[in-house]
Amino acid sequence: MPKDGSYGQTTYAGSGALTAQAVAAAFAPYLTSVTVGVKAEDFDASRKSAKAGGFTYLLYPEILHWEDRATEWSGRPDQASVKVSVVSLDTGTILDSAVVGGKSGLATLGGDRPEHLLPKPLSDYAATLFRQ
Protein backbone atom coordinates (compact mmCIF):
# COMPACT_ATOMS: atom_id res chain seq x y z
CA MET A 1 0.00 0.00 0.00
CA PRO A 2 1.42 3.42 -0.85
CA LYS A 3 1.91 6.10 1.74
CA ASP A 4 -0.79 8.75 1.80
CA GLY A 5 -0.58 11.45 -0.83
CA SER A 6 0.07 15.06 0.02
CA TYR A 7 0.09 18.48 -1.55
CA GLY A 8 2.00 21.30 0.07
CA GLN A 9 1.55 20.97 3.82
CA THR A 10 -1.62 18.86 3.56
CA THR A 11 -1.49 15.07 3.82
CA TYR A 12 -4.65 13.32 2.65
CA ALA A 13 -5.26 10.59 5.23
CA GLY A 14 -6.53 7.39 3.70
CA SER A 15 -5.46 8.25 0.15
CA GLY A 16 -2.90 5.43 0.15
CA ALA A 17 -5.57 2.86 1.01
CA LEU A 18 -7.95 4.33 -1.58
CA THR A 19 -5.23 4.12 -4.22
CA ALA A 20 -4.37 0.52 -3.32
CA GLN A 21 -8.05 -0.43 -3.58
CA ALA A 22 -8.34 1.28 -6.97
CA VAL A 23 -5.30 -0.61 -8.28
CA ALA A 24 -6.68 -3.90 -6.95
CA ALA A 25 -10.07 -3.26 -8.57
CA ALA A 26 -8.44 -2.43 -11.93
CA PHE A 27 -6.36 -5.62 -12.03
CA ALA A 28 -8.87 -8.02 -10.42
CA PRO A 29 -10.65 -8.92 -13.69
CA TYR A 30 -7.37 -10.28 -15.08
CA LEU A 31 -5.92 -12.12 -12.09
CA THR A 32 -6.94 -15.12 -9.99
CA SER A 33 -6.63 -13.09 -6.79
CA VAL A 34 -5.43 -9.69 -5.66
CA THR A 35 -4.40 -8.99 -2.08
CA VAL A 36 -3.91 -5.46 -0.75
CA GLY A 37 -1.22 -4.79 1.83
CA VAL A 38 -2.35 -3.78 5.31
CA LYS A 39 0.12 -0.94 5.84
CA ALA A 40 2.14 1.56 3.86
CA GLU A 41 5.55 0.19 2.90
CA ASP A 42 8.38 1.40 0.71
CA PHE A 43 9.29 -0.55 -2.41
CA ASP A 44 11.84 -2.90 -0.83
CA ALA A 45 9.64 -3.67 2.18
CA SER A 46 6.68 -4.32 -0.13
CA ARG A 47 8.75 -6.74 -2.20
CA LYS A 48 9.85 -8.62 0.91
CA SER A 49 6.31 -8.76 2.33
CA ALA A 50 4.83 -9.99 -0.96
CA LYS A 51 7.55 -12.59 -1.41
CA ALA A 52 7.08 -13.81 2.18
CA GLY A 53 3.36 -14.08 1.44
CA GLY A 54 4.08 -16.48 -1.42
CA PHE A 55 2.97 -14.13 -4.18
CA THR A 56 4.39 -14.21 -7.71
CA TYR A 57 3.95 -10.56 -8.68
CA LEU A 58 3.79 -7.24 -6.90
CA LEU A 59 1.72 -4.30 -8.12
CA TYR A 60 3.44 -1.39 -6.39
CA PRO A 61 1.53 1.91 -6.51
CA GLU A 62 3.18 5.19 -5.56
CA ILE A 63 1.21 8.43 -5.25
CA LEU A 64 3.07 11.14 -7.15
CA HIS A 65 0.46 13.89 -6.86
CA TRP A 66 -2.74 14.20 -4.82
CA GLU A 67 -4.65 17.44 -4.74
CA ASP A 68 -8.19 17.73 -3.40
CA ARG A 69 -9.60 21.19 -4.13
CA ALA A 70 -12.91 22.94 -3.62
CA THR A 71 -13.07 23.24 -7.39
CA GLU A 72 -16.52 24.83 -7.53
CA TRP A 73 -15.41 28.04 -5.84
CA SER A 74 -11.62 27.98 -6.33
CA GLY A 75 -11.60 27.15 -10.02
CA ARG A 76 -8.70 24.75 -9.33
CA PRO A 77 -9.24 21.11 -10.33
CA ASP A 78 -8.71 18.00 -8.21
CA GLN A 79 -5.71 16.03 -9.42
CA ALA A 80 -4.25 12.59 -8.86
CA SER A 81 -1.20 10.94 -10.37
CA VAL A 82 -0.03 7.44 -9.48
CA LYS A 83 2.94 5.38 -10.66
CA VAL A 84 2.24 1.65 -10.82
CA SER A 85 5.11 -0.82 -11.11
CA VAL A 86 4.58 -4.50 -11.94
CA VAL A 87 7.34 -6.57 -10.36
CA SER A 88 8.29 -10.24 -10.76
CA LEU A 89 9.06 -11.43 -7.25
CA ASP A 90 11.09 -14.40 -8.51
CA THR A 91 13.64 -12.19 -10.27
CA GLY A 92 12.99 -8.77 -8.70
CA THR A 93 12.64 -7.36 -12.21
CA ILE A 94 10.27 -4.48 -12.88
CA LEU A 95 8.29 -5.90 -15.79
CA ASP A 96 6.36 -2.73 -16.55
CA SER A 97 5.49 0.61 -15.04
CA ALA A 98 3.28 3.51 -15.93
CA VAL A 99 2.12 6.82 -14.54
CA VAL A 100 -1.65 7.25 -14.66
CA GLY A 101 -4.02 9.84 -13.29
CA GLY A 102 -6.39 12.57 -14.08
CA LYS A 103 -7.67 16.04 -13.43
CA SER A 104 -11.26 16.95 -12.64
CA GLY A 105 -13.30 19.31 -14.73
CA LEU A 106 -14.24 22.73 -13.39
CA ALA A 107 -17.97 22.00 -13.19
CA THR A 108 -17.87 19.08 -10.73
CA LEU A 109 -20.88 20.00 -8.57
CA GLY A 110 -18.88 18.86 -5.55
CA GLY A 111 -18.71 15.24 -6.70
CA ASP A 112 -15.12 14.73 -7.83
CA ARG A 113 -12.31 13.83 -5.49
CA PRO A 114 -8.82 12.66 -6.46
CA GLU A 115 -9.69 8.99 -5.87
CA HIS A 116 -12.57 9.30 -8.35
CA LEU A 117 -10.06 10.18 -11.07
CA LEU A 118 -8.15 6.88 -10.86
CA PRO A 119 -10.44 3.95 -11.81
CA LYS A 120 -10.65 4.63 -15.56
CA PRO A 121 -6.93 5.24 -16.23
CA LEU A 122 -5.96 2.33 -13.96
CA SER A 123 -8.41 0.01 -15.74
CA ASP A 124 -7.12 1.17 -19.11
CA TYR A 125 -3.54 0.46 -18.02
CA ALA A 126 -4.41 -3.02 -16.72
CA ALA A 127 -6.21 -3.79 -19.99
CA THR A 128 -3.12 -2.87 -22.03
CA LEU A 129 -1.05 -5.39 -20.07
CA PHE A 130 -3.49 -8.23 -20.61
CA ARG A 131 -4.53 -7.68 -24.24
CA GLN A 132 -4.26 -10.84 -26.29
Burial of 80 (0-12, 13-18, 19+ CB in 10 A): buried
Compute CA distances 53 → 37, 46, 48, 89, 130, whole Å. Answer: 10, 10, 9, 11, 24
In a domain, 33, yes or no: yes
Q: Give the CATH number of the domain where residue 36 resides.
A: 3.40.50
Domain range for 117 is: 6-130
Q: State yes or no: pLDDT of 74 exceeds 70.
A: no
pLDDT tens-digit map of 78-114: 889 999 999 999 999 999 999 999 877 655 555 567 7
Residue pLDDT, tens place only, 105-125: 655 555 567 788 899 999 999
Looking at the domain assignment, is residue 25 inside a domain? yes
Residue 1 lies in a domain: no
Closest C-alpha to 57, from 92, 23, 88, 98: 88
At 30 the pLDDT is 96
Specify if 66 maps to a domain: yes
Structural domain total, the chain: 1
At 1-31, the pLDDT tens digits run 999 999 889 999 999 999 999 999 999 999 9
